[in-house]
């Protein structure tokens, strides 16, 4: 699918009120649990087929597609606008210097808008459209399972979204290298696919490879598409070449970047706006009550909240896709007093490149991200980051 687009010590001094137990390991918890091949879910397969049928039936479409690659603190993202009608499509990188693909069903042209070089090939030999992966989401499925139901906040609307894990006996040739598992997010009512997360191994079984998250939004369906969209006229002076080299998406660390702003409410309706917290050190923890490592790390976040509040730190727990009552009951049962916010899925989780729960970040007094950790092997790195940020040493 991507070819041209994606290549993918704690100090001896302790602040009063903080007491961490050393040697407690927290599991890195991906936002799925492994599918057992023996526990194949026929209902999950049926849902995949129904969703694929929806995309196979599209006569024409326009879609916004985002491709994120995440590995530790390193991330990259590419954004595309794709329009299709029948076998023809036009896919443009939203970066004005990115690539443009125009396919009229028989010939495909690819233009590198940075260099004004372009190539052409028979459509049959070209990579498929980005949306075509959704029309084939039910193919080569080795195992499938419905993991849970999430609540998505899309504009002013709340949508119930089924989270399916899928394992394939054959991954597409253009899938991320060392693809292992994927999760597919499907609107329970409309069968629209909002995203596919693909988790990979590294070069060996001991490595964790990058996660690729592809998000889809159909902005138009079965509209009248102008035929001119699928014709290609090279820019004046453009050079035709036999082929274009694919370049990997540029990656960069999130550390030192501005924390994306958001405004969310807790289960009781009290609103928290990140911009209003400038001047404080903010710990943001992406979590869910169904995630055992998230639950295991919560007592430490409570201790940070209580122990460092008077020095200017605040902890915000951003729940991933659960309703307010579930979150409120969880907080009450466990006596957690720091704010647990709802409604951040999918906008805020995508802004922060969340591919695992828990994901924890520290934002300094100037609004910069100075720490990120997926999972929590030990609370020590987090508390060190909080102490440094409070001391202005990041």
Domain extents in the chain = 37-240, 254-391
Task: Decide: helix, strand or coil at residue 193.
Answer: strand
CATH superfamily of 37-240: Lipoprotein localisation LolA/LolB/LppX (2.50.20.10)
- For the residues 168-182, what does the mean pLDDT come to? 86
| 352 touches 278 (CB < 8 A) | no
Q: What element of type H or E holds 94?
A: none
Tell me which DSSP letter residue 286 carries: E
Predicted local confidence at residue 232, as pLDDT: 96
Longest dimension (CA), the chain: 71
Instruction: Classify burial at 388, counting beta carbons within 10 Å of its beta carbon; exposed 0-12, middle 13-18, buried 19 or more.
Output: middle
pLDDT at 224 over 90: no
* pLDDT computed for residue 10 by the predictor: 31
Contacts of 12 (CB under 8 A, 6+ apart): none
The token pair at 218 is 């159909």
Is 385's pLDDT higher than 90?
yes
What average pLDDT does this structure show over 167-185?
A: 88
Dist CA 92 CA 111 (whole Å) = 10
Whether the per-residue pLDDT at 7 is higher than 90: the answer is no
- 4: confidence class by pLDDT, cuts 50, 70, 90: very low
- Confidence bin at 249 (pLDDT 50/70/90): confident
Asked, as a colleague might, if the bond just before 229 is cis with ω within 30 of 0, I would say no
What tens digit of pLDDT does each residue of 265-315 get? 999 999 999 999 999 999 999 999 999 999 999 999 999 999 999 999 999
Nearest by Cα to 71 from 183, 217, 185, 178? 178
- As a whole number, mean pLDDT of residues 71-96 equals 95
Answer yes or no: is pLDDT of 351 > 60: yes
Per-residue pLDDT tens digits for 194-204: 999 999 986 55
Tens digits of residue pLDDT in 313-332? 999 999 999 999 999 999 99
| Dihedral angle, C-alpha 219, 69, 1, 42, nearest 10 ° | -80
Distance CA 191, CA 57 (A): 12
pLDDT at 246: 75
Q: Could you report the per-residue pLDDT of 123-137, keeping only the tens digit for each?
A: 999 999 999 999 999
Q: Give the pLDDT of residue 204.
A: 53
Contact 123, 106 (CB under 8 A): yes
Which pLDDT belongs to residue 207? Answer: 61
> Of residues 24 and 243, which shows the higher confidence score?
243
pLDDT digits (tens, 9 = 90+) for 100-116: 999 999 999 999 999 99
CATH entry 3.20.20.70 includes domain 254-391: no
Decide if 172 contacts 139 (C-beta within 8 A): no
Residue 26 pLDDT greater than 50, yes or no = no
């Amino acid at each position: 699918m991507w070819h041209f687009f994606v290549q993918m010590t704690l100090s001896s001094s302790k602040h009063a009120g903080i007491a961490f137990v050393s040697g407690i390991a927290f599991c890195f918890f991906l936002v799925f649990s492994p599918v057992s091949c023996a526990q194949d879910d026929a209902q999950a397969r049926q849902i995949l087929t129904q969703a694929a049928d929806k995309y196979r039936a599209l006569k024409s479409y326009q879609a916004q597609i985002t491709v994120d690659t995440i590995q530790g603190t390193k991330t990259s993202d590419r954004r595309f606008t794709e329009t299709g009608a029948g076998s023809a499509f036009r896919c443009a990188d939203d970066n004005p210097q990115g690539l443009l693909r125009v396919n009229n069903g028989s010939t495909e042209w690819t233009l590198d808008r940075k260099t004004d070089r372009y190539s052409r090939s028979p459509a049959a030999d070209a990579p498929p459209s980005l949306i075509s992966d959704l029309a084939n989401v039910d193919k080569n499925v080795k195992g499938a399972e419905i993991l849970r139901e999430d609540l998505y906040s899309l504009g002013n609307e709340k949508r119930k979204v089924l989270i399916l894990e899928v394992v394939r006996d054959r991954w597409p040739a253009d899938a991320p290298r060392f693809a292992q598992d994927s999760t597919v997010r499907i609107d329970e009512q409309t069968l629209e696919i909002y995203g596919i997360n693909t988790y990979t191994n590294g070069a060996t079984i001991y490595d964790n490879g990058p996660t690729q998250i592809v998000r889809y939004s159909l902005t138009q369906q079965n509209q009248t598409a102008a035929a001119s969209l699928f014709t290609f006229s090279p820019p004046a002076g453009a050079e035709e070449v036999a082929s274009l080299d694919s370049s990997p998406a540029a990656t960069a660390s999130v550390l030192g970047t501005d924390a994306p702003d958001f405004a969310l409410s807790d289960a009781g309706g009290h609103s928290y706006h990140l911009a209003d917290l400038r001047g404080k050190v903010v710990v943001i923890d992406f979590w869910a009550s169904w995630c055992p490592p998230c639950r295991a790390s919560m007592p430490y976040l409570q201790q940070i909240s209580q122990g460092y509040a008077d020095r200017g730190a605040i902890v915000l727990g951003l729940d991933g896709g659960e309703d307010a009552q579930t979150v409120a009951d969880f907080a009450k049962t466990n006596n957690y007093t720091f704010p647990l916010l709802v409604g951040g899925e999918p906008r805020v989780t995508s802004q922060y490149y969340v591919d695992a729960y828990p994901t924890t970040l520290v934002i300094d007094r100037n609004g910069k991200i100075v720490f990120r950790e997926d999972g929590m092997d030990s609370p020590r790195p987090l508390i060190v980051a909080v102490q440094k940020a409070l001391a202005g040493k990041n």
